[in-house]
Copies of this chain bind each other. A is one copy, B any other.
Amino acid sequence: MRKLSSTNYYNQTFLEDKCALNELIHLLSKRWLTEVMFSIEEGNSRFSSLKEDLKHISDNILADRLKLLEQYKLIVRNNHLGEVPARVEYSLTETGEKLSDLLGGLCNFAENQMEFPS
């Protein structure tokens, strides 16, 4: 639960305060996060179906990414209360869909106009 080593922490918050883009990119850079978003967009709404679709993801990472996406209001969590076994469904918010579109454009750019070294 500790953090902030002076400059390291300071610089990160400085950059995030300066421009929201830095905070967004920091979020997007978390491994699997965009994949989880795209997988939900494609119709995988359950924890188990996401886990199956993203073959190599682990439970704790998937749970963490879902929590993050929910906190940033990019997805909504629909808990079907009281059902046993538990049933939860996720879906994109409007903001989430908009972001997904923008990332589509960026993806197209990355694949067609960028040259990656080695």
* Chain A interfacial positions (CB closer than 8 Å to B): 7, 10-12, 14-15, 19-26, 28-29, 31-32, 34-35, 56, 71-73, 95, 98-99, 102-103, 105-107, 109-111, 113-117
Contact = CB atoms under 8 A, between A and B. Distances in A.
A20 B95 CA distance: 23
Copies of this protein chain in the complex: 2
Please classify the interface of chain A as helix (H, G, I), strand (E, B), loop, or mixed, using the class held by over half of its residues: helix
B102 A106 contact: yes
Nearest to A16: B116
Contacts of A110: 19-21, 23-24
A32 B48 CA distance: 37
Contact of A109 (B7, B26, B32, B98): B98
Contacts of A26: 29
